[in-house]
Structure 1
């Protein structure tokens, strides 16, 4: 071999080795991870936190430095949505990768059915030590699928880590903030500076209510900071995937318990310093039903065919990938009975209401709030504007359609307008196809009586009514 050919051969060999080494060092999320690659997994779940109510999501008043840090140093999802706006059905949906109507636990306080597996049970097969903290709200059959539990928060985190030992850990932290009733959180926000949405009355009572809500979110943020500090102290932050989200929207009228964006849109943040580039943002439509399939993909565990979510693992390294064309949400019994289904695209939201003869049901914890009492007082005085009156309207429209580009607060129903009736028809068909494809039940099949007055938001019974099967009196 000539010297020139020998030189070219050696150069090619070195180049091949260098490129191969670089490729091996880069994260490839679309490929299975080996046991040494998989991270610890820490999931923070806020209890009734609206997506708008964090600094990183545009609220310049609220104090959330630790959540903001996770987003700034990780991946922030801009359009993430929940499958429902109710605490226990939402958590069960996230952990099963199923829509609420497919879990058998679609109503508030319904436990996970026996025999249904959730995320920690799968992760245990991959060697994870699993735990959960504080609020669970998914029943004994779910609780039994964790190795460890504590009613406390960051104070018990070191103990959990010690028990995990050399194993990778999975920890689900269910905060009770900012759920009502509000506790004695440090006062940090003044009523005069909070943001009042257009569907609430801008009264002193409402502003004080929102300021307390902000304080509760800041208290939760303080706790998140303590978890982060402990991971840093142990040099475990780099190989811990931290995920932050909320179980439903803010605890105010026309938010929590609805399928409007204020009820089902969630902050969603992935933070993993060793693998996710800081400052990443993803604009595609995302559903949290994909969270469990994604984490199973991460640890090379094949997701069961019955799961209705899909892995979005590749998005962690490539934010140019397209999102979902549609995201779906639903509302079932939560103090009052409902059968509401919704479909959202990047621009439009379509909602189907079954019980149109009744005004929208308000969860009891919201019905007793100063914000709701202020609405009631102004309703009696006849001083509510159109946006504030919609909560009490009856009959309700069977179909609602909102142009989110023109109407981000979803206050102007354009379903019947000549410009959008064809779009409403097409989206309604897409929604019906999804209902059939995912095994949704018709409105009359699984019914519970109200135990809260729809007009006043006051409990008239604390007992959870039994489920009944009625004749076909309601249909879309």
Structure 2
């Protein structure tokens, strides 16, 4: 059995095993697109079972509606304007910076080093002798430089290193690397941490034929059918991983956490995302279920009211491992429901796809949001991105072309169809103060 026994020297004291930790990260999936979230067509039996066995928050939020900054926040427990990863790619002036030319490599290395100034999950768990495996999405250079003991991604730009390279094969082509890692962890009798970030249901939407045919018979758009099929394929791969833990007898001492990196609403007309989803701070871009399962230690519960954030993941994982949480991590242990209810507030921001420079944390800021209880306020940054860049279209009409403040009651209107800002100026002012106290949109490090 994979374990590390931690014992005190006092006579009669008890030994206990450090729990293993598996963090499952979906890639580009809407918060609605699960059976347990009552989707009428998509079937996700493995994730439905995980949700039923977990402390599950249906009102989870990412710090950014784009994968790289969102994942960086999950790993460090801090926001993009702090760790500096505000977009996916890097610009120097108007030009995209290549990772392979000398100047570009130096700029990227500086960005990685500043990211690593913040304690991250793999390094902190390594202090307790955890073995750690990186699979799937990873943007921040060589994963071993961020504390992973085992990696799938090489991050060599000469061999296609960008956002995961060889690691992106996980789950799309089985989980053999995970099986080999589990064998090694068992042989060394050490606890393990797995960063499982498969390139699913992310494009390319090339699901197994039988899944595509299944959903093609249900919907009119082949693009939607392919996306739905990708979600079920991803669910199957999650089941494969969880079954592997069960078959090895690891489930009793393994904590499984689940979250998605950002939302996705499929465009029915083409193989792209629709407005108000990815790269947008509306619910379709930033909301996700967040689950924590630890059989025998965490009671299963479906919480449909408390807003929680992905910055809560890192402190939760470290506290589960009985490690000290670094001062940089301000999130709350997801097991502490009283503290989460008392906070009742989460924040996030959308920056443009490209970072505008390694020293420019605010130059690509587009929008900020705060969720406080039932209410959500979105403020757009006219200084960097003047109207009408906001929101695309909704039902064939331009959504908020002037970039006005947007206020929604998410309980009454979870899909944000009615902007209540004009009739609630006091609430807009109150939430604006909360948002500015979190981050006012200025440069910070």
**TM-score normalized by structure 1?**
0.72
User: Which secondary structure does the structure 1 equivalent of 2:396 belong to?
Assistant: helix
Cα distance, 1:334 vs. partner? 0.9
Residues 68 and 429 of structure 1: is their aligned pair in 2 closer, same or farther, counting only changes over 3 Å? same
Residues 35 and 70 of structure 1: is their aligned pair in 2 closer, same or farther, counting only changes over 3 Å? farther
Residues 142 and 292 of structure 1: is their aligned pair in 2 closer, same or farther, counting only changes over 3 Å? farther
Please name the residue that 2:381 is paired with: 354
Kindly provide the CA deviation profile for residues 148-190 of structure 1, in whole angstroms up to 9, marking residues without a partner as x: 1122431222101012121010001111111123124344343
1:209 aligns with 2:223: yes
Please name the residue that 2:182 is paired with: 161
User: How far, CA to CA, are the matches of 2:144 and 2:65 in structure 1?
Assistant: 20
User: How far, CA to CA, are the matches of 2:42 and 2:195 in structure 1?
Assistant: 25
Please name the residue that 1:390 is paired with: 398
Equivalent positions of 1:45-56 (< 5 A) are 45-56=25-36
Residues 428 and 144 of structure 1: is their aligned pair in 2 closer, same or farther, counting only changes over 3 Å? closer
Residues 320 and 84 of structure 1: is their aligned pair in 2 closer, same or farther, counting only changes over 3 Å? closer
Please name the residue that 1:285 is paired with: 307
Cα distance, 1:144 vs. partner? 4.0
User: How far, CA to CA, are the matches of 1:155 and 1:37 in structure 2?
Assistant: 26
Residues 223 and 405 of structure 1: is their aligned pair in 2 closer, same or farther, counting only changes over 3 Å? closer
Please name the residue that 2:350 is paired with: 331
Please name the residue that 1:236 is paired with: 250
Kindly provide the CA deviation profile for residues 380-404 of structure 1, in whole angstroms up to 9, marking residues without a partner as x: xxxx8x643235x53322x111222
Cα distance, 1:280 vs. partner? 5.0
User: How far, CA to CA, are the matches of 1:291 and 1:311 in structure 2?
Assistant: 7
146-155 vs 286-295, which deviates more? Answer: 146-155
Cα distance, 1:81 vs. partner? 0.9
User: How far, CA to CA, are the matches of 1:191 and 1:184 in structure 2?
Assistant: 12
1:259 aligns with 2:281: yes
Q: 274, 293, 304: which one pairs with 1:271?
A: 293
Residues 335 and 289 of structure 1: is their aligned pair in 2 closer, same or farther, counting only changes over 3 Å? same
Kindly provide the CA deviation profile for residues 239-263 of structure 1, in whole angstroms up to 9, marking residues without a partner as x: 1111111000014321111111111
Equivalent positions of 1:13-412 (< 5 A) are 36-109=16-89, 112=112, 113=114, 114-140=116-142, 144-150=146-152, 151=167, 152-153=169-170, 154-165=175-186, 166-188=189-211, 189-191=214-216, 193=218, 204=220, 207-250=221-264, 251-281=273-303, 283-315=305-337, 322=341, 324-334=343-353, 337-355=364-382, 357-360=386-389, 387-391=395-399, 394-397=401-404, 399-412=405-418
- Indicate if the aligned counterparts of 1:249 and 1:262 stay in contact, CA closer than 8 A: yes
Residues 335 and 435 of structure 1: is their aligned pair in 2 closer, same or farther, counting only changes over 3 Å? closer
User: Which secondary structure does the structure 1 equivalent of 2:378 belong to?
Assistant: strand
User: Which secondary structure does the structure 2 equivalent of 1:283 belong to?
Assistant: coil
1:441 aligns with 2:439: no
Cα distance, 1:311 vs. partner? 2.5
Q: 410, 421, 424: which one pairs with 1:415?
A: 421
User: Which secondary structure does the structure 2 equivalent of 1:223 belong to?
Assistant: helix
- Indicate if the aligned counterparts of 2:61 and 2:288 stay in contact, CA closer than 8 A: yes
User: How far, CA to CA, are the matches of 1:433 and 1:350 in structure 2?
Assistant: 14
User: How far, CA to CA, are the matches of 1:181 and 1:164 in structure 2?
Assistant: 33
- Indicate if the aligned counterparts of 1:79 and 1:283 stay in contact, CA closer than 8 A: yes
User: How far, CA to CA, are the matches of 2:63 and 2:85 in structure 1?
Assistant: 13
- Indicate if the aligned counterparts of 2:58 and 2:302 stay in contact, CA closer than 8 A: no
* Pair member with larger Rg: 1
State the Cα RMSD in Å: 2.6
350-359 vs 76-85, which deviates more? Answer: 350-359
User: Which secondary structure does the structure 2 equivalent of 1:273 belong to?
Assistant: coil
Residues 149 and 400 of structure 1: is their aligned pair in 2 closer, same or farther, counting only changes over 3 Å? same
User: How far, CA to CA, are the matches of 2:388 and 2:208 in structure 1?
Assistant: 34
Residues 289 and 102 of structure 1: is their aligned pair in 2 closer, same or farther, counting only changes over 3 Å? same
- Indicate if the aligned counterparts of 2:33 and 2:42 stay in contact, CA closer than 8 A: yes
Higher normalized contact order (CA 8 Å, seq sep 6+, divided by chain length): 2
